[in-house]
Structures are given as C-alpha cells and as structure tokens.
Chain A
Amino acid sequence: MPSVLAATHPTDTVYGEVGDATVPLRFSASSASSAAEYGVLRERAAVLDLGGHGLVEITGPSAVDFAQRLLARDVEYLTSDRCMMSLVLDEDGQVVDQVVAFGREDGLLLESSCGAGGRLLEHLRAHQEDGVEITDRSGELTVIGLEGPYAWGVVGRLIDAELASLPFESVADATWDDTEIVFARTGLTGEYGYQMIVPAEAAAALWTSALEHARPAGLEALELAMLEVRQPIPRHEATPGATVIEIGANWLVDITKDDFVGKDAVTEAFESGGGRRTVGFTGCAGVPAPGTRVLAGGQDVGEIVHAVHSAGLDATLGLARVDADLAAAGLELTVGGLTVTTLTSPYIVPKSWSIPII
C-alpha cells in the first residue's frame, strides 16, 4: 500500500517495499541522501512519513479486556491522554508486531510497526471475540512524525508550543487548520519525538506545512537512528524462532501482568536462562548480511541479526545474537574473518538528552 503522501514527495524519492507498505526510504535518488537526512534527524528536526504504520481501532464493550489479553503490556488503565509501546505475541511467544497503543474514549487505537498493519490486523481478527469490534483505519488516517533535538520548536510553530512539552507518551486531541488530529509525544530515536495521527485528506497539507520548518527523513535514516539507541526494529530483529529474551525486548512486555497471549512461552524462555542474547557491535569492513556467522576464539557462537553503515559512527554498526555468556560489551569477536567489537548501548548519545525544551 503506497503512502497517502506519495504525491507530495519529490519525484526522485526512493521507495521500498516493507511488509505490506510502500514507504519512502530516502527523499532523493542520491546515495548521500540518507546520511544527510540522518544528520537532520540527529542535529535539527526531521519530519517523517509514517504512512507505512497501520492503524487498527478496537472498540466495543469488551475492547479493553481484549486488548489486555492481546498486548504484552498492561493497557487496562490506558486513558485517552496516554499511549504506550507494547509487543503483540502469538501463543508461542513469537513477536507478531510492536505497536503503539493509544487509549481512546471508546477503546484503543493500535499503530503497527512499519509494514506490519495487515499482519497485526489478521492476528487480532483471529482472536476476536464477542463484544469486540476491530476496524482497519489505515485508509482513513495516516501518521506523520517529527523527530530531532529541535522537533519541539517545530511543534510550536506548526500547532501549539504547549504540546511540545507534553510528558513522554502523553496524548492530546488537537486541531490543526480546523482538522482534528491526535497528537502524541513519543519518540523512536532518543531525540524529542512526536506523532500526529491525521485524516488522510488533510495529511498532504500538514506535511507541506511541516516542511516549512523541518526537513524530511526516510526510513533508512530513521531505522539507523533507532538502532543507535537500541530501539527494537521488529522487521529486522524478530527473526523466526527468536524469543523475546533473545531479542532483548523484555521492556516491551509486562511480565508481572496476570495473563496475555504468549506469556507462558515468554516466562518459560526467561526461566530457562538458555538461548542467545543480542549485543551491538561495530568494526569490520562493509556490512555483514543477516545470518553471517560470529566467532569467538575460533568457535561459532552466533550470527549477525542486522547491520548497516552508521553515518553517526562512520563505521559499520549492527546487532549480533550470540551465546548468552558472551553477550557483553567490550569483547572482540570475529565476523567474516574481520574483528568487531561489541558495544554498550546507546551507541550514539542523542543530542536531545542535553537540550532542554525552551
């Protein structure tokens, strides 16, 4: 499904197929474009076309109970002024998706990860029960993001300065140019981050207006910045068979919650203490492909999960999944015959951590 903003993007925008979505990878055919967009995101303010994120509404008298059973975090008291990120798991504890759940007066609105809206919708409908209505709102609504150390300034100029200083994961119903939008303080990259859920027919105007104050950044820049602060990217990290513990996404699961789909499997994986763990690394020449073997002292101890060239580090940056007793920063391992060094996260310290909202 193409972005509703596609007509507004430059003609040389490079798109990619991600799951069921066609999304802008970078906003110029130039290969240097991603690094420039990354620079905007880390140094100033970027506007993000998040139209590849599906939106699913859960309503009905049993909506909250249903969401509480399907989401791995506790959403029982998620009021309409709050949102939270959560994993959605299947019965085997495998990651179906990583969502942002918005509390709404009549239920919840779930925002899928990039390209996973169809998969999320299918999973929810497979578990649907009486008293629950599940509606795909992806065609009617879209998501526009703002991210960067000065994104708060863009919010002030675009909508309302008071919205910029909302606490993290707060939500407000706002108005932009007589259009009702859902505004949230979120963030995927460690920088100041905001999301606006907008009616599709108003999205192009809001996007164009945002571009008067910020530059666009595509998925390549966004995912690099997410990786740098160890924000899970399910399409890369939730490899088949990997447990939540191996992925290192424990914080997106409320293990103290009474019950949820997949809890037994997650608990078993945690209590067993076995398997592998994910650790960041840098070094080596080029970008090793997922599945490339990782050696320690000449022995095979794991594999590459995901790697890219980091414009911030000017080096290869990636995640490896290795034996649990070797998942630690500061080790020299071998990938493709070359030495890599494991890292402590975050791999880049976001500029926003030292810049107050004025």
Chain B
Amino acid sequence: MTIDELRAKAAERQQTCSQIKKMIVSRLDLEIEPGWITDDQPLFGRGLELDSLDVLELYVAIEAEFGVALYDSEMAVFGSVSRLADEVNPALRATA
C-alpha cells in the first residue's frame, strides 16, 4: 500500500474510535474531552475504570448509535476503544 492508502485506512478506524469516544463521554457524562481517551487504553477496571453499570449503559448506547447488539458478547469487546471499533464496524476487521 502507498502511504496515502495507509493513512486512509487508519483514518477510517480513527473515525470509528472517535465516534465511540464521543458516545462514551456523552452517555457516561464524563468530564474529559473525548480525545483524551486513547484508542488502546483499557476501559473496564484499569484505564477508564468503567464498572458493570457503565457497561450496561454502553450496551444500550452502542445498539442505539451503531445498531449492534453486544449483550451476549464476552467482556473482551470492552478491552479497548479500538477493540469496540472492531465490533461496531466489522469492516475494520475485514480489512485488517
């Protein structure tokens, strides 16, 4: 791939990650800017320190915003924003 093609591919994932971060900050009423959350940072326990109630809220928010139901998923989908991006935008995995 050329560097421009790689940048375009990166931009697609970063765009999905950005959308997820905005959703998290909005739904959980966090005081930080969405961009402060990194794509790779842990979400559950360490990192963003989400608890089980937050995760329930995110299940609902993800279905509403992305049309993807994650209710029966393993906790690994909340391993990071980038991991969530793979779930809500499967096209990212398909081209990975």
Contacts and interface: CB of A to CB of B under 8 A. Distances in A.
Interface stretch (A25-33, A89-97, A321-329): A321-329
A344 interface: yes
Interface string B42-75: 1001111000000000000000000000000011
A251 B76 contact: no
Contacts of B39: 327-329
A327 B10 contact: yes
Contacts of B92: 329-330
B46 A251 contact: yes
B83 A255 contact: no
B24 to A, nearest CB: 13
Nearest to A354: B74
Interface string A236-280: 000000000000101100011000000000000010000001111
Given A251-B48, A331-B9, A345 B40 contact: yes
B35 interface: yes
Contacts of B82: 328-329, 344-345
A297 B2 contact: yes
Contact of B36 (A270, A299, A349): A270
Contact of B7 (A248, A325, A330, A345): A325
Interface in A64-107: 85
Nearest to A333: B6
A344 B10 contact: no
B80 to A, nearest CB: 5
Interface residues on B, range: 35 or more
Given A328-B14, A349-B79, A250 B36 contact: yes
Contacts of B45: 168, 187
Contacts of B26: none
Interface of B: 1-7, 9-11, 13-14, 17, 31-32, 35-42, 45-48, 74-76, 79-80, 82-83, 85-86, 92-93, 95-96
Interface of A: 85, 168, 187, 190, 229-231, 248, 250-251, 255-256, 270, 277-280, 296-299, 301, 325-333, 341, 344-346, 349, 353-354
10 contacts: A187-B46, A230-B42, A251-B41, A277-B38, A299-B3, A325-B10, A326-B3, A328-B14, A329-B39, A331-B9
Given A297-B3, A344-B85, 19 more contacts: A85-B46, A187-B45, A230-B42, A250-B36, A251-B38, A251-B46, A278-B40, A280-B40, A296-B6, A301-B3, A326-B7, A328-B10, A330-B93, A332-B1, A341-B96, A345-B82, A346-B76, A346-B83, A349-B79
| 6 residue pairs, one from A and one from B, having the closest CB atoms | A297-B3, A330-B96, A328-B10, A345-B40, A344-B82, A328-B13
